Structure 1
Amino acid sequence: MKAIRRLTVRTVLPQPLRGLEELVLNLRWSWHHETLDLFRSVDPGLWEAVRHDPVRLLGEVAPDRLAALAEDRRFLRRLEAAIGDLRDYLTAPRWYQALGADGAPAAIAYFSPEYGIAAALPQYSGGLGILAGDHLKTASDLGVPIIGVGLLYRHGYFSQSLSPDGWQLEHYPAIDPNGLPLTLLREDGGEPVRITIGLPDGRDLAAQVWLARVGRVPLLLLDSDVEDNDRAARDVTDRLYGGGTDHRLLQEMLLGIGGVRAIRAHCRINGHPAPEVFHTNEGHAGFLGLERIRELVDEHGLSFDEALEAVRAGTVFTTHTPVPAGIDRFPRELIHKYFGGPAGLPGVPVERVLALGSETYEDGDRTVFNMAVMGMRLGQRVNGVSRLHGVVSREMFGGLWGGFDTGEVPIGSITNGVHAETWVAREVMDLAAREVPALMDGHGWEGVLGVPGGQIWSVRRVLRERLVLDARRRLRESWRQRGASEAEMSWIDDALDPDVLTIGFARRVPSYKRLTLMMRDPDRLRALLLDPDRPVQILIAGKAHPADEGGKRLIQDIVRFADAEDVRHRIVFLPDYDMALGQMLTQGCDVWMNNPLRPLEACGTSGMKAALNGGLNLSIRDGWWDEWYDGQNGWAIPSADGLSDSDRRDTLEAAALYELIEDHVAVSFYDRDAAGLPRRWLEMVKHTLATLGPKVLATRMVRDYVRDLYAPAAASARAMSTGSFAGARELAAWKTRVMKAWPAVAVDHVDSTGDESPHVGENLNVRAIVNLGVLEPDDVAVEAVYGRVDDTDSIVTPAHVQLTRDGAENGRVRYTGEIPLDRTGPFGYSVRIVPHHPLLAGTTELGVVAQPPDPPGMTNGDLR
């Protein structure tokens, strides 16, 4: 008989051991090796059995063992030291506190639909969640005052197994929050906080709020499985990325609208400063901007437009997808249903909501509501997650700023990073502490070059062997689940080899990541695996979305190949890819392989984790690898970009992959000196660590966010809110006036004076006559745009210089200035008018520009 309800009965710890609960309830243990060592010493065998989950450990440890520990002075001293270290970590000033109060936000709210903090808190599906988890952990390490907001999914993401014929099977194990390192957010009187949002049928969707402590960072997780709700409402937070369109919309409303309300409750109860900056990690949480508009309209009497300006100023939006298909879109009528009528947010008209998410640009779908588009309209600062992804995003969303060239679209980039303490093996950390102690303080990376190669090679052998042993265990479990008998699994004892070149490939399984590219020529792959002198072994992991039949077929193809008796000891598919498996793979593999269709990988941080563990990358130049590959830190797979025949492209790129592995990767790995060391390989490993180390760390990433986005956003938000939101009121009125008058703004005439055959180093005098209509000169900036021109007279990589008002002519305004002729060859210029206001983040913010269609008097020529 199945239980009708699942619950967790917690252990009552002896008084001397009560400090263990304090350690368990702060997820810092997930990246703090000394605390993990303490938990392991409670019961080493049980620690392995519960897969390093301290909550389960304390729930299952024998009472007599607890009684013995309560009398163990050495253990109690270690426990006291661990508690003291945690409390010092939570209170001591860190990097952020050294910045001083000027410009640094008092608090930042960080919204994400998923978080990969630890395998023991299964609230993530892939890279977006892992990145969010690393962001929070690093913010904690740096002392950045972030408050995380997400949802608590009672079934999380699915667990994956395989059928006998290799088809992906999904399971959704129930999760009891009381069995997780969480506590309920409660009012001062002890009753649980309740967050509600209105529904179209007059009901409220209610949620309680669970608090996860991620070091110094509070993470608020909203949970709709409460008695106040009916069955349908209780299931809103049942599964990560589960359900149909209505279900997903409700999840995102609860995350965005409910999340803001949860933050307000948390700050009120705990005396936490209110966030000045709101960071939206992808479009799923975009509705948070609507709730903040509602607050300002309701509590401060602002109009919708005024509240919009105040909200935009303090909002950062990060996009993670380089493909339109990866963006959440909802039917417009569904948005009208939930945000129109009595269910709508007071002061937030549904027509304005629909306008925020409307694809008004060329080729946009006028029938849908686009969450990423809304996020960009609600955020004054937008970024992608690698340099190449920033370029792709500017092209993808450039229509929102249609008056400007793609290069001026205000979408920047901050390349992702990874949290080293989570992903770097203990042995690597110990070696670094011994040989390059400066690394522990975040600098001195060049010291890696002096580490003896034999020590690095020894550590790599240990990590490879650990991976092989863990892979064999996982293989045995998988084959047992698939129905194999013990006799059929005897081969697993010798599967893989800790001395063979080991390649890892672990991803989500959408088609663009090309899980099966390595199988393009099965005979050639088989030859690489079975080479008698330079064999290769490949470990593969990945999950396809439950609704992605194509992705499941790709997994089945890999599994069927890997099941073949002649190669199954050299290539394996390991089911149920999660954080624990990801750590094992990125630590133990010699090479991390990644072969997406360029440029469809936004960043791809797994290769960063491998690099920090002394692995080398073998990848298409996409995401982060495009900007940081230098020819010595791995191998770049040539990409047949622009080839319209996708089948032909796969064939070419697969052939290049085989050639690199056979003629370069394997040769470097197996070419040994008299001491048995691969000298060239180790030189590449040390170069990789020395050059990539400081770049791929999440400390660099979070510092970039603080300096480049959070601090400027806080300054903008303060400028809008001071004096009863005088700045927001002024900017909203100014924008309304400028946009109404803009159709009459024009560049009437442009000319220049100077030598008709100018020389480099000279200046070109430019004069422009412009018509501003009813606008004042202070409302605009008139700019000369200049630079090299191509065969179509388009200005390539333009530069800008602002012209100076120089009188009036017949009711129009004259501007003059000088253009520096700073390069030789074909050169051209034009003039444009853009809106200007000190509270704008940039000249492109309104998305409008006035310029002559065929600039009169334009001079093109060769500069000598």
Structure 2
Amino acid sequence: MENMHKVIGHKGWKIAYFSMEIGLKNEMPTYSGGLGILAGDTIRASADLGLPLIGVTLLNRKGYFLQKVDEAGRQTEHHQEWSPSDYMDLLPYEITVRMQKRDVRIRAWLYEHQSLTGSKIPVIFLDTDVEGNSLEDRMITDSLYGGDRSYRLKQEMVLGIGGVRMLNSLGCSITKYHMNEGHSSLLAIELLRQNNMQPERVREECVFTTHTPIESGHDRFSHDLVLDVMDEDVDLDALKQYGGEYELNMTLLALNLSNYINGVAKRHRDVSRKMFPGYEISSITNGVHSYTWVCPYFRKLYDRYIPGWANEPELLVRVQSIPDNEVWDAHMLAKKELIDHVNSRSNAGLDYDTLTIGFARRFTEYKRPTFIFSELDRLRKVNEAGKIQLIFAGKAHPRDTMGKAFIEKIFQYMEELKGEIKIAYLENYDIDLAMKMVSGVDIWLNNPRKPLEASGTSGMKAAHNGVVNFSVLDGWWIEGCVEGMTGFAIGPKPEVDKTLEQIEKMELDDLYNKLEYIMIPKYYCRRDEWVSLMNNSIEMIAYYFNSHRMMRHYVTEAYL
């Protein structure tokens, strides 16, 4: 406990980083996807840079879910039980939050992330599985994004209100509260209480990052539900004033009580300004933690030729000092590891020498997971120009029936293209599988419907390993794409004056034509040009789109 006080209890300025999910270890299923992985990279970069930051999140004792997919592509969800005591320490502090006319007790677990530099960042995991709570209340911190609207609101009370009270109990001196998406915005209501309902004082302390243009990503709760669940902890007049007259909009609550607001890419900033007119919204483009997302084979290369890169990823701009053959050899080692893994988990029979395209992300409609199969005759023509093979991975939310249907469609295309194009689908996409995929494929495919990709970070991870990006011009790729140098765009620029149907036709033409006439010839016939693309990806993308640069921007633009 003495060490705990050194890490948490010391006085001085500190940033409290609140996120519904934080992904730190594969064995700790406290994340669902991009938001949680980004939060984990934020913690890692903050530790490397020695920032005075403390993370606050929920424990999620049963994880998001363990995905099982049968031979027809039907997804089922299962609890992912794990033991928090294997990775973190239980702190001797409890606080309460009032819900439905009873006090819900909340305790905290401490996880310390230690950087290679020796610096540590504490992360507080809030837990309601406490003796004295009812069975219903003990389950509040069981499942990430599980349950009904009442369950979600209770979780967000634990995170926002409970998180602030727990930091107070721990003796933390917080100068900035960073809300990573609107799930934690009830913390602003708790701060209002602590500041005699003075909104200006609260705004001075609050930073808000919005992460998605997707409507379902912005939580809303009816006032009837709020009155029922929040009980004595609710000031309905304040919630209506700052969170919406007709319903509690968690994004609106954060917008109204934060002095600094940002989107996660320049394009996302512009989209967010249209979504929320009247608010000053800035942008800090996301980044990924370089050391975490570089595979062992490239780490070894970078260590030899670019010493210091791990804590100064901007040094990756010097990648041209590495001989091309060594870059290619490192990639092929990563590819072999991925192909062996795929073949051990499926009967796809993938091989090492075929151009391999990877698509891995949450399976949902706007991500268009089956886009490459839109015109099978054209895809077959691409495959005749040079053999391709495809690897898919990703979970669909348990209530996303369309997302689940996309997984089944992948399996149908596997059957339809059997003997022509090898296709693999890997279940239970997680941190370890992501690491294998972003380093082992040749092309990283991303084709969301514009402008619904706020940022996207998987392509940044791929670029760190010399994998070539092939993506629509949305999110971060608008900033990262130098056509034919750092990768390739699918379709027109965002400002093109075309209908949605025309844009989709242009995207499909681009997808097939660039594969057939540019990428396949380079890969199979002009290997030196392909390796040049790989080098450019590292030199022009990895050096900038990393979480060290991102956190320096947060410090100078949001925290100070």
Q: TM-score, normalised by structure 2?
A: 0.93
CA gap of 1:117–1:567, structure 2 versus 1, over 3 A, is: farther
Does 2:307 match 1:437? yes
Does 2:162 match 1:235? no
TM alignment of 1:31-180, pairs within 5 A: 106-178=13-85, 180=86
- Asked whether the equivalents of residues 111 and 279 of structure 1 are also in contact (C-alpha less than 8 Å), the reply is yes
Match of 1:314 among 196, 202, 205: 205
TM alignment of 1:20-31, pairs within 5 A: none
- What residue in structure 1 maps to residue 545 of structure 2? 696
CA gap of 1:568–1:177, structure 2 versus 1, over 3 A, is: farther
> How many positions carry a matched residue from both structures?
546
- Asked whether the equivalents of residues 473 and 493 of structure 2 are also in contact (C-alpha less than 8 Å), the reply is no
- What residue in structure 1 maps to residue 183 of structure 2? 284
Question: What is the CA-CA distance between 1:374 and the residue it aligns to?
Answer: 0.3
Does 2:129 match 1:225? yes
- Asked whether the equivalents of residues 640 and 649 of structure 1 are also in contact (C-alpha less than 8 Å), the reply is no
Mapped partners of 1:255, 1:568: distance in 2:
50
- What residue in structure 1 maps to residue 258 of structure 2? 379
CA gap of 1:263–1:522, structure 2 versus 1, over 3 A, is: same
Does 2:224 match 1:333? yes
Mapped partners of 2:178, 2:240: distance in 1:
22
Question: What is the CA-CA distance between 1:472 and the residue it aligns to?
Answer: 1.4
Mapped partners of 2:68, 2:379: distance in 1:
25
Match of 2:432 among 565, 571, 580: 580
Match of 1:679 among 510, 519, 528: 528
TM alignment of 1:4-19, pairs within 5 A: none
CA displacement 1:600-627 (0-9 Å, x = unmatched): 1011000000000011100001111011
Which amino acid in 1 is paired with 2:554?
Answer: Y
TM alignment of 1:645-684, pairs within 5 A: 646=500, 649-672=503-526, 678-684=527-533
- Asked whether the equivalents of residues 157 and 186 of structure 2 are also in contact (C-alpha less than 8 Å), the reply is yes
Mapped partners of 2:68, 2:25: distance in 1:
21
CA gap of 1:575–1:646, structure 2 versus 1, over 3 A, is: farther
Question: What is the CA-CA distance between 1:647 and the residue it aligns to?
Answer: 5.4
Structure 2 residue matching 1:196: 3-state secondary structure: strand
Question: What is the CA-CA distance between 1:326 and the residue it aligns to?
Answer: 2.0
Question: What is the CA-CA distance between 1:339 and the residue it aligns to?
Answer: 4.4
- What residue in structure 1 maps to residue 290 of structure 2? 420
- Asked whether the equivalents of residues 524 and 658 of structure 1 are also in contact (C-alpha less than 8 Å), the reply is yes
Mapped partners of 2:499, 2:210: distance in 1:
29
Structure 1 residue matching 2:543: 3-state secondary structure: helix
Mapped partners of 1:438, 1:204: distance in 2:
51
- What residue in structure 2 maps to residue 633 of structure 1? 486
Mapped partners of 1:140, 1:182: distance in 2:
17
- Asked whether the equivalents of residues 322 and 393 of structure 1 are also in contact (C-alpha less than 8 Å), the reply is yes
Mapped partners of 1:162, 1:149: distance in 2:
33
Match of 1:250 among 149, 154, 172: 154
CA gap of 1:353–1:440, structure 2 versus 1, over 3 A, is: closer
Structure 2 residue matching 1:379: 3-state secondary structure: coil
Mapped partners of 1:560, 1:645: distance in 2:
30
- What residue in structure 1 maps to residue 90 of structure 2? 184
CA displacement 1:219-248 (0-9 Å, x = unmatched): 111111122111111111121000111110
Which amino acid in 2 is paired with 1:661?
Answer: L
- Asked whether the equivalents of residues 277 and 314 of structure 1 are also in contact (C-alpha less than 8 Å), the reply is yes
Question: What is the CA-CA distance between 1:429 and the residue it aligns to?
Answer: 1.3
- Asked whether the equivalents of residues 64 and 80 of structure 2 are also in contact (C-alpha less than 8 Å), the reply is no
Where does the alignment leave 5 or more consecutive residues of structure 1 unmatched? Answer: 1-24, 27-89, 92-100, 187-192, 298-303, 359-365, 402-408, 476-490, 673-677, 712-864
Match of 1:351 among 237, 243, 253: 237
Does 2:554 match 1:705? yes
- Asked whether the equivalents of residues 598 and 639 of structure 1 are also in contact (C-alpha less than 8 Å), the reply is no
Mapped partners of 1:315, 1:155: distance in 2:
31
Question: What is the CA-CA distance between 1:440 and the residue it aligns to?
Answer: 4.6
Match of 1:464 among 335, 347, 350: 335
Mapped partners of 2:41, 2:345: distance in 1:
26
Match of 1:543 among 395, 406, 412: 395
Mapped partners of 1:165, 1:693: distance in 2:
38
Which amino acid in 2 is paired with 1:282?
Answer: E
- Asked whether the equivalents of residues 491 and 503 of structure 2 are also in contact (C-alpha less than 8 Å), the reply is no
Mapped partners of 2:421, 2:515: distance in 1:
19
- What residue in structure 1 maps to residue 98 of structure 2? 198
Question: What is the CA-CA distance between 1:370 and the residue it aligns to?
Answer: 0.7
- Asked whether the equivalents of residues 113 and 151 of structure 1 are also in contact (C-alpha less than 8 Å), the reply is yes
TM alignment of 1:728-739, pairs within 5 A: none
CA gap of 1:601–1:166, structure 2 versus 1, over 3 A, is: same
Match of 1:614 among 466, 479, 483: 466
Q: TM-score, normalised by structure 1?
A: 0.61
CA displacement 1:815-863 (0-9 Å, x = unmatched): xxxxxxxxxxxxxxxxxxxxxxxxxxxxxxxxxxxxxxxxxxxxxxxxx
Mapped partners of 1:544, 1:339: distance in 2:
30
Structure 1 residue matching 2:369: 3-state secondary structure: coil
Structure 2 residue matching 1:622: 3-state secondary structure: coil
Which amino acid in 2 is paired with 1:184?
Answer: L
Question: What is the CA-CA distance between 1:565 and the residue it aligns to?
Answer: 6.7
- What residue in structure 2 maps to residue 520 of structure 1? 374
CA gap of 1:469–1:255, structure 2 versus 1, over 3 A, is: same
CA displacement 1:370-410 (0-9 Å, x = unmatched): 10000111111100000100010111001xx2xxxxxxx41
TM alignment of 1:826-841, pairs within 5 A: none
- Asked whether the equivalents of residues 240 and 246 of structure 2 are also in contact (C-alpha less than 8 Å), the reply is no
Question: What is the CA-CA distance between 1:263 and the residue it aligns to?
Answer: 1.2
- Asked whether the equivalents of residues 184 and 209 of structure 1 are also in contact (C-alpha less than 8 Å), the reply is yes
Mapped partners of 2:321, 2:48: distance in 1:
28
CA displacement 1:739-769 (0-9 Å, x = unmatched): xxxxxxxxxxxxxxxxxxxxxxxxxxxxxxx
Q: What's the Cα RMSD here?
A: 2.2
CA displacement 1:583-638 (0-9 Å, x = unmatched): 10001111111001111101100000000001110000111101121121000011
CA gap of 1:564–1:436, structure 2 versus 1, over 3 A, is: same
Does 2:173 match 1:274? yes
- Asked whether the equivalents of residues 290 and 310 of structure 2 are also in contact (C-alpha less than 8 Å), the reply is no
Structure 2 residue matching 1:207: 3-state secondary structure: strand
Mapped partners of 2:225, 2:55: distance in 1:
28
Mapped partners of 1:111, 1:598: distance in 2:
28
CA gap of 1:507–1:688, structure 2 versus 1, over 3 A, is: same
Where does the alignment leave 5 or more consecutive residues of structure 2 unmatched? Answer: 115-119
Match of 1:591 among 438, 443, 446: 443
- What residue in structure 2 maps to residue 392 of structure 1? 271
TM alignment of 1:498-537, pairs within 5 A: 498-529=352-383, 531=384, 534-537=386-389
Structure 2 residue matching 1:497: 3-state secondary structure: coil
CA displacement 1:4-54 (0-9 Å, x = unmatched): xxxxxxxxxxxxxxxxxxxxx99xxxxxxxxxxxxxxxxxxxxxxxxxxxx
CA displacement 1:145-174 (0-9 Å, x = unmatched): 111001111111111111232111111132
Deviates more, 1:557-566 or 1:544-553: 557-566
Question: What is the CA-CA distance between 1:640 and the residue it aligns to?
Answer: 8.1
Identity across matched positions, percent: 38
- What residue in structure 1 maps to residue 351 of structure 2? 497
- Asked whether the equivalents of residues 315 and 543 of structure 2 are also in contact (C-alpha less than 8 Å), the reply is no
Deviates more, 1:690-699 or 1:453-462: 690-699
Structure 1 residue matching 2:511: 3-state secondary structure: helix
- Asked whether the equivalents of residues 239 and 248 of structure 2 are also in contact (C-alpha less than 8 Å), the reply is no
Structure 2 residue matching 1:437: 3-state secondary structure: coil
CA displacement 1:501-522 (0-9 Å, x = unmatched): 1111111112111001111012
CA gap of 1:567–1:704, structure 2 versus 1, over 3 A, is: farther
